Structure 1
Amino acid sequence: MNQELHYVQQFYELTIEFLTNYSFQIIGALIIVVIGWFFSKYIFNLLIRFFSTHDFDVTLGKFVANGIRILVFGAMVIVAIGKLGISIAPFLAAVGAIFLTAGLALQGTVANFAAGISLVISRPFKIGDTISVNNIYGIVEEIKLAYTTLRTEDEEMITVPNKNMIGEVIVNSYDYRIVESSVGISYHDDAEKTIALIKNVIDGFENLSGDNKSIVGIQNFGDNAVEIGMRYWVPTRNYFKTQYEVNLAVYKALNDAKVTIPYPQRDIHLYGQNPVA
């Protein structure tokens, strides 16, 4: 019992001695950390307000503001560690070793973050644009450092890792997506009048792009029909809905104008000797 009391007494004395010798350093370090936290937060809010008032890209603005905030707070933490009398050089070496080990263990994640930084800097697309990458179409909903989220017409959310975007062909059609289709008409029908008829039907839809006019013309000369090609731009959120409505309207217009939509035909000729009686 006496030995245990002796240990408690020693611990108490060491604690009092430590607080007496280092109390001001500890308090000073804590004050520096708290000041660094609030100062970094203030810098972040200041930068966000600055970027918003100067029409800066939202994604790039948040990335820059967060990066500066982390740097400011990290610098204040290093100053606080120095205030405690701890050598910073071994600490930095240990942090570097930890980051190197983590980087080797999380190569895929690191690649996504590096690709995200490249996307934020180069900005091949922004939130609200319609992009196609790796045969995936969608409206850009959110751009993160690790991944990009796309929303489809069916309200599906597609998460694309950023490393799968770097080095790939990215098609950015902004607010609209192009529809490419065709319809065949008989060689006996007037192709010029049919083209004008189809173009009038397509241009009658109000929700199509006003900047990119529809294009209608002879696309190909088939074996049984003249193929009339149609190209027009529709809002991405109503891509399939508008395409189906346009196809139905074109079909009705061709029927009303007595334009023939032929089907494949083959003439078969049989050659042989007359049967013996």
Structure 2
Amino acid sequence: MNLDKTVIASYIDEAIVGIINYSPKVLAAFLILFIGHHTINFVKKLILSKVQNSEIDITLSKFLIDILVWILRFLLFITFISRLGIETASFVAIIGAAGLAIGLSLQGSLSNFAGGILIVLFKPFEVGDSIEAQGVTGVVSEIQIFVTKLIASNNQTIFIPNGSLSNGNIINHSLQGKRRADIQFLVSYNDDLKKVKDIIFQILNSNEKVLQDPKPSVDVVALTETGVRLAVKPWATNEDFSKMNSQVLESCMTELTKAGINLEKKV
């Protein structure tokens, strides 16, 4: 099949003319996209800096800022395609129809979004709180639109969907400002119980991280086949809790063993 060179040349000329005529729209559209993207990031950082220096709740602020950023990105996208010459009215209608279908298939994501709103409104925890939920424990680093980010004690980052988080049990270790440890020992029936309690109270009273209000306690909680079970219950601030718990446990084992107290296996 022989192609007419004049026809090919005319097609090439038309293509070149089309590219030349359309290229300003493409360049303008991508320029708008570039400037808009950086402007949104600048606005986000500016609002965050203002919020951090004010008395506005940081958790609610970050959540609302995330929603604002997504709205601005959507408007930027509409502006971008409009500049390319695509009819926005028909495109928005297509997005609406597609959004309905996507919404039905992403019910889990919508429940996570609703869960995020519930968390922000009712505040079972805030950024910086130590919580236990969904089988994991960590410090709340960020409450995002769909997930909540925790930092575990081993520095692992944990993401929990807001839907399951808002509908499940949450233990907030930071809400009251103080925490009580529950340390248990099993001592022999042959040991002097008063001597054991005196040694433990001496340890509790000498440890600077143990609070004296509320006062720590040492109680008998069970009589087992092998010995007497004691529950040592010292209090500490949230910041000192982990260190205090470790220090008291180590000191009790060391001092009781040094005094000749027989620590039995827990039954």
TM-score normalised by structure 1 residue count: 0.66
- Over alpha carbons, which structure has the higher Rg? 1
Counterpart of 1:229?
A: 231
User: For 1:11 and 1:65, how far apart are their aligned partners in 2?
Assistant: 49
Counterpart of 1:215?
A: 216
Change (3 A) 1:176 1:10: same
**Is the contact made by 2:219 and 2:231 (CA closer than 8 Å) also made in structure 1?**
yes
**Is the contact made by 1:129 and 1:173 (CA closer than 8 Å) also made in structure 2?**
yes
Q: For structure 2, list consecutive stretches of 5 or more residues without a partner in the other structure.
A: none
User: For 1:33 and 1:8, how far apart are their aligned partners in 2?
Assistant: 35
Change (3 A) 1:30 1:10: same
User: For 1:131 and 1:253, how far apart are their aligned partners in 2?
Assistant: 33
RMSD: 4.4
**Is the contact made by 1:189 and 1:260 (CA closer than 8 Å) also made in structure 2?**
no
- 1:66-77 equivalences under 5 Å are 66-77=66-77
- 1:133-212 equivalences under 5 Å are 133-174=133-174, 178-183=180-185, 186=189, 189=192, 191=194, 195=197, 197-208=199-210, 210=211
Counterpart of 1:267?
A: none
Change (3 A) 1:84 1:251: closer
User: For 1:203 and 1:3, how far apart are their aligned partners in 2?
Assistant: 102
Change (3 A) 1:114 1:15: farther
Counterpart of 2:88?
A: 88
Q: 1:116: how far off?
A: 3.9
User: For 1:119 and 1:90, how far apart are their aligned partners in 2?
Assistant: 37
Q: Percent sequence identity over matched residues?
A: 24
Change (3 A) 1:38 1:158: closer
User: For 2:240 and 2:5, how far apart are their aligned partners in 1?
Assistant: 79
Comparing 216-225 with 131-140, greater Cα deviation is found at 216-225
- 1:1-277 equivalences under 5 Å are 3-10=4-11, 12-13=13-14, 16=17, 32-33=32-33, 35-58=35-58, 60-79=60-79, 81-82=81-82, 86-174=86-174, 178-183=180-185, 186=189, 189=192, 191=194, 195=197, 197-208=199-210, 210=211, 213-220=214-221, 222=223, 227-233=229-235, 243=245, 245-254=247-256
Q: 1:162: how far off?
A: 3.4
Comparing 233-242 with 102-111, greater Cα deviation is found at 233-242
Comparing 63-72 with 226-235, greater Cα deviation is found at 226-235
Change (3 A) 1:37 1:263: closer
Q: For structure 1, list consecutive stretches of 5 or more residues without a partner in the other structure.
A: 265-277
Report the number of matched residues: 261
User: For 1:149 and 1:73, how far apart are their aligned partners in 2?
Assistant: 23
TM-score normalised by structure 2 residue count: 0.68
Change (3 A) 1:219 1:152: farther
User: For 1:262 and 1:32, how far apart are their aligned partners in 2?
Assistant: 74
